[in-house]
Amino acid sequence: MTVPHPALGDDEVAALRDEVGAGSAATPAAAAASDAAAGAAPSARARAATKAGIRRAIAWYVDETAQDTADRVGDRIRSEVLPRVARVEQRLDAPEQADPAALAVNVELLKGELRALQATLDALGMAIAPASGLPAAAARLAEVRERITALERKARSASATAPAPVAAPLSSASTAAPAPSAAFDYLGFERRFRGDSDAVAATQRERYLGLLRDHAPVLDIGCGRGELLAALGAEGVEALGVDLDADMAAEAQAIGLDVRHGDAIEFLRAREPGSLGAIVSFHVIEHLELPVLLELIDLATTRLRPGGFFVAETPNPASLVVLGNSYVLDPTHVRPLHPSLMVFLCESAGFRDVRLEMHAPAEGYHLPLVDDPDAPAWASTVNEAFAKLNDVLFGPQEYAVIATLPPTRGA
């Protein structure tokens, strides 16, 4: 005999059976005939296939990320969906009590509930991350938490200290990195598009820690969140930073870094000549007007001690993918700076041994080369052309100019 669904009446079960093709008016005799034809229970293969299908259908909905970003939806899954799945699996594991038609009804009910949950999760994801949906929801919520933490820190700081007197505005020629408009959240912009602080710190350690370790004190101009300062401090290297963005400076100060809020050009002017071992700036010089950039390089030649380094990392406009992506993404960029131009400017200011280091080629965009020893002769010509295109279109996305002062003045 058939087993009625515990949550439905006879009419609802009959309607669902019609939808899944199980029939809606089966007589006892017909049911007995069907049972006899089907045997005492579904085959082991049928049971396994049904169970696997159910598990595949619900696996995504109990994913840990979905639960983290939608606890309410997760509670509904645990309280409503999973118990029904368990009941279906119990029936599958007890073939002597199983009725294929009743199991089909349960499966269709689960499908309907899962479709409703799919719609709920999709709507939730789009509400949190409108451009990306649920896959990006966790990152967006992390950004919200960081911004709330920053606002709380600013509120505590404002209540604990008296307002500082307003300084006279600096002339445009002396501003090292113009502060973004108050309406533009540059700290939030960097969190989203520059990347995770730990990943940025790992990259800077790999590229520059060995170079800077023996050239303390290190000044980081436009230090931002202070990733490099933290890495240098962990190695016992004296380092300090200056940033014109108050939020950036406050965030770095909050983790114990020696960061000054102010204008880098003014800071360098007040610094004793020959008092620094290295001056670095990462993604700062593309924000500067040409007179300011020239003064920065000129000040570096006098504030560094003999043999000191000036390091400036910036987007590489010689790789055209940069101009159409990361460069135009930042509305505070002033102009792209070609690598050859930066070499010329540093050499003209008096630096010696000026070199370039290229980083982060856009390999994900590279045109594939023919890699077949039996390829026709023209394949090598195609490969050469593709290699040139890859270099021009999808080459290194960043470069660093590394300029060294002579070991003695006037050398």
Average pLDDT over residues 257-284: 96
Task: Name the residue with higher pLDDT: 202 or 57.
Answer: 202
How far is CA 224 from each of CA 267, 282, 400, rounded to the nearest angstrom? Answer: 16, 9, 18
pLDDT number for residue 187: 66
Q: Are strands 218-221 and 276-282 parallel, antiparallel or unpaired?
A: parallel
Average pLDDT over residues 286-311: 96
pLDDT tens digits, 350-371: 998 999 999 999 988 898 998 8
Position 154 pLDDT exceeds 60: yes
Task: Name the residue with higher pLDDT: 129 or 337.
Answer: 337
Position 110 pLDDT exceeds 70: yes
Q: Which helix (H) or strand (E) holds 217?
A: none
State the pLDDT confidence band at 184, using cuts at 50, 70 and 90.
Answer: confident
Structural domains of the chain sorted by starting position, each given as residue range(s) with its CATH number in brackets: 10-128 (no CATH), 195-404 (3.40.50.150)
Residues 6+ positions from 80 with CB-CB distance below 8 Å: 113
CA–CA separation, 398 vs 144, rounded Å?
A: 29
Average pLDDT over residues 301-313: 96
Tell me the CB-side half-sphere exposure of residue 79, using CA atoms within 13 A.
6
Q: Spell out where 266-303 has E strands.
A: 276-282
Tell me the CB-side half-sphere exposure of residue 242, using CA atoms within 13 A.
18
Q: Which of 32-46, 55-69, 86-100, 253-267 has the highest mean pLDDT?
A: 253-267
CA–CA separation, 251 vs 242, rounded Å?
A: 12
pLDDT number for residue 349: 94
CA–CA separation, 326 vs 258, rounded Å?
A: 29
pLDDT number for residue 148: 72
DSSP assignment of 310-336, as one string?
A: EEEEEE-TTSHHHHTTHHHH-TT----
Average pLDDT over residues 43-67: 53
Q: Is the distance from CB of 218 to CB of 238 less than 8 angstroms?
A: yes
pLDDT number for residue 138: 73
CA–CA separation, 225 vs 247, rounded Å?
A: 9
Q: Residue 357, SS3?
A: strand
Closest CA to 403 of 310, 337, 314, 285: 310
CA–CA separation, 300 vs 308, rounded Å?
A: 9
Q: Which of 32-41, 72-81, 392-401 has the highest mean pLDDT?
A: 392-401
Average pLDDT over residues 295-303: 97
Average pLDDT over residues 200-228: 91
Task: Name the residue with higher pLDDT: 369 or 54.
Answer: 369
In this structure, the number of other CB atoms found within 10 A of the CB of residue 145 comes to: 10
Task: Name the residue with higher pLDDT: 270 or 179.
Answer: 270
Position 48 pLDDT exceeds 70: no
CA–CA separation, 260 vs 234, rounded Å?
A: 19
Closest CA to 232 of 212, 259, 202, 253: 212
pLDDT number for residue 18: 57
Average pLDDT over residues 2-22: 52
In this structure, the number of other CB atoms found within 10 A of the CB of residue 347 comes to: 13
Position 28 pLDDT exceeds 60: no
pLDDT number for residue 275: 96
pLDDT number for residue 168: 41
CA–CA separation, 229 vs 201, rounded Å?
A: 9
pLDDT number for residue 324: 85
pLDDT number for residue 26: 46
CA–CA separation, 64 vs 244, rounded Å?
A: 40
Q: Which residues of 366-400 are buried (b: 16+ CB within 10 A; e: fewer)?
A: beeeeeeeeeeeeeeeebeeeeeebeeebbbbbbb
How far is CA 41 from each of CA 4, 23, 47, 91, 104, rounded to the nearest angstrom? Answer: 17, 19, 9, 10, 14
Position 271 pLDDT exceeds 90: yes
State the pLDDT confidence band at 228, using cuts at 50, 70 and 90.
Answer: very high
Position 10 pLDDT exceeds 50: yes
DSSP assignment of 39-67, as one string?
A: -SS--HHHHHHHHHHHHHHHHGGG-HHHH
Instruction: Report the DSSP beta bridge partners of residue 361.
Output: 396
pLDDT number for residue 107: 80
Average pLDDT over residues 5-28: 51
pLDDT number for residue 288: 95
User: In degrees rounded to 5, what are phi and psi of residue 281?
Assistant: -150, 130
Share of the chain above pLDDT 70, in %: 63
State the pLDDT confidence band at 30, using cuts at 50, 70 and 90.
Answer: very low
Q: Which of 35-39, 53-57, 331-335 has the highest mean pLDDT?
A: 331-335
User: In degrees rounded to 5, what are phi and psi of residue 142?
Assistant: -65, -40
